[in-house]
Each structure stands twice: as structure tokens, then as C-alpha cells.
Amino acid sequence: MRLITDAVFVTNAAKINAEREKIAVQITEVGKLNAAVALLGAPDVRAEWVEMNISERRAAIRALGMHITLRPAGAHRPAQAPSQIGCAPVCPVAA
């Protein structure tokens, strides 16, 4: 049996690791897209949202390019008032 040299091993290991990194990024992107597709393709979006776990919800929000801000309740505002929730594109489009 022939052994490979250290140089060949290091070179091949670097190539394999780079390919693994690329695949990991692709899997992450597909996961984000799938969460958004599942949400937007559902006949009842509210019911689908309730069924999603927190990771799926975050992925859907990111895939839709949104940034959600929850503000603390004030002294004269009920909890979860619409004024406490901000929703804006992650990268606003310049006019």
C-alpha cells in the first residue's frame, strides 16, 4: 500500500474543507428559502406561523428580507401593542 505525502494530504484536506464550507452555506440558504416558501405557500399563513418553531420563523423573516424590532411596553401602553412592533426591510431600497 502506498502512503500519500503530507503535502498531498494537506492540499486535499484544504480542498475538501473548502467544499464542505460551500455546501454548508448552500444548505443554510436552502433552509431559509424553504421556511419562506412554506409560510407564503400555506393556505392559512397564520396557522403555518403558529406551527413553525423559532428557527423556522427566523429563517422565514430573513428570507423575506425583513428586520423585526420589539420595543418594551411603556407605562401607558398594553403589552404587545402595535406601536411596540417595528418591521422594516433589512436593506432599504434607495429612492
pLDDT tens sequence across 23-65: 888 877 776 677 888 888 888 988 988 998 888 888 888 888 8
> Which has more confidence, 15 or 34?
15
Residue 17 lies in a domain: yes
> Which has more confidence, 57 or 85?
57
Q: Which residues contact 68 (CB under 8 A, 6 or more apart)?
A: 61, 85, 86, 87
Residue 63 lies in a domain: yes
**pLDDT at residue 18, rounded to an integer:** 92
Residue 10 lies in a domain: yes
Residue 49 lies in a domain: yes
Residue 24 lies in a domain: yes
Residue 23 lies in a domain: yes
Residue 94 lies in a domain: no
Our count of domains for the chain comes to 1
Largest CA distance in the chain: 79
Structural domain that includes position 80: 6-89
Residue 13 lies in a domain: yes
